[in-house]
Amino acid sequence: MFKYLLSLFLLTSLTSLAQNRDSANVGLLFKESLTNGKAYAWLDYLSNRIGSRLSGSESAAKAVTYTEKELQNLKVDRVMLQDVMVPHWVRGNDDKAYMKSKGKKTELSCCALGMSIATPSTGIEAQIVEVTNFEDIIALGKEKIKGKIVFMNHPMNQNVIRTFTAYGEAAKYRWGTASKAAAQGAIGVVVRSMNISIDDYPHTGAMGYVDSIVKIPACAISTLDAEMLSKQLKEDPSTTVWFKQSCQTLPDAPSHNVIAEIKGSEFPDEIIVVGGHLDSWDLADGSHDDGTGVVQSMEVLNLIKATGLQPKRTIRCVLFMNEENGGKGGEKYAEESKNKKEKNIAAIESDAGGFAPRGFSFKGDSASMQHVMKYKEVLEPFGLPEWEKGYGGADINHMEDQGTLLIGFSPDSQRYFDIHHSALDTFDRVNQRELQLGAASMAALAWMISEYGVK
């Protein structure tokens, strides 16, 4: 009995010592990030010197060159570019729209949806048919839709705490309304912006076509104008809308993922990926989506180097290209990694804005999730209370079939969709301290996984 109690005491003492050591190391990462971190300065350059970074653009290429150089300056073990072909869609001249009722024209704040086709040079004008879901389109049918413009007025749900849940439910209407409406004879589509707030800023984002259905132009209008248009249609069902856009899809363009890593000292073949996406939409400089994720992922390597910590497993930063309108960077990384038989044991993605950290969401093998959830005891005191089963990330999800534990970094999201994909996604809306806390949070989890693995 005495030996058992002694063994239990020693085990408890050793566990306590390990936790104290881990907490001290995590504390070093947070201190370094908050006092000497580079992420905010990197983001300043990325946002204000380079600007928006739509896939295939000159500015996207500049972002590759800049981040590669900065990662090389960290003197990590390896920095490389990974070739990837990406879609090249361009917006063209300013998007314009108005509604007309009883001879009066009222301007609408609009923007072309990503990957949409253009209108004729004179624009298109037709009577508006308002719907709130796909079932409405089918129910109305060709008799009431043919030759008209469909107005998809589906708001994001205000009654959910998790704003990404509301976005996920609503975004399918941005993506799929054009083909659904075209199948019933519509000549164009106007979509309510994916935004919880009621304001006058339209939000872009990717939409898609079905190859077997005629392509029609699609734009988004601001939530404020969506409310106004809906009200006007109730007063005057004969209201028309005119919109014009000159966007086009050019041939696919060559681009790159940017990859850098610190080799593990004991298990170098086991890789922990940290990443965000280099590309952004073109209405603003893309600071929150996803400049913050890019610089936070770079910062993970900087913090590990600056604190002198030696990871047992390899920590690899991957800056993915083309998350916004194709996902080709994530596909390419997963494909090449699989072909090389690399062992990506975990991947942490930051693509939810640079707001204050809240925790992480996990997707993957239940045993791995349970194992990593144990690290909460060390990290929760650093402001990371939310650990839950959920979503990984658009780029890292391509590694799911390789058995990788997918982890989404979760900052506070209540303000994110006010700016997401809009002209408001600018550098001045990023708080330096919140950004650096997020980088430290990612580094801390990557460090814990490096120390103790996922199983």
Q: Which residues are catalytic?
A: 323
| Assigned token pair, 409 | 């970094």
CA-CA distance, 10 to 16, in Å (whole number)?
A: 10
What is the Cα–Cα distance from 59 to 139, expressed in whole angstroms? Answer: 44
Pick from 136, 138, 142: nearest CA to 154: 136
Locate 307 and state its tokens. 């604190």
Nearest partner of 274 among 449, 146, 128, judged by Cα:
449
14-34 core/surface letters (b: 16 or more CB in 10 A; e: else): eeeeeeeebbebbebbbebbe
Secondary structure of the chain as H, E, C letters = CHHHHHHHHHHHHHHHHHHHHHHHHHHHHHHHHHHHCCHHHHHHHHHHHHCCCCCCCHHHHHHHHHHHHHHHHCCCCEEEEEEEEEEEEECCCCCEEEEEECCEEEECCEEECECCCCCCCCCEEEEEEEECCHHHHHHHHHHHHCCCEEEECCCCCCCCCCHHHHHHHHHHHHHHHHHHHHCCCCCEEEEECCCCCCCCCCCCCECCCCCCCCCCCEEEECHHHHHHHHHHHHHCCCCEEEEECCCEEEEEEEEEEEEEEECCCCEEEEEEEEEEECCCCCCCCCHHHHHHHHHHHHHHHHHHHHHCCCCCEEEEEEEECCCCCCCHHHHHHHHHHHHCCCEEEEEEECCCCCCCEEEEEEECCHHHHHHHHCCHHHHHHHCCCEEEECCCCCCHHHHHHHCCEEEEEEECCCCHHHHCCCCCCCHHHCCHHHHHHHHHHHHHHHHHHHHHCCC
Contact 154, 173 (CB under 8 A): yes
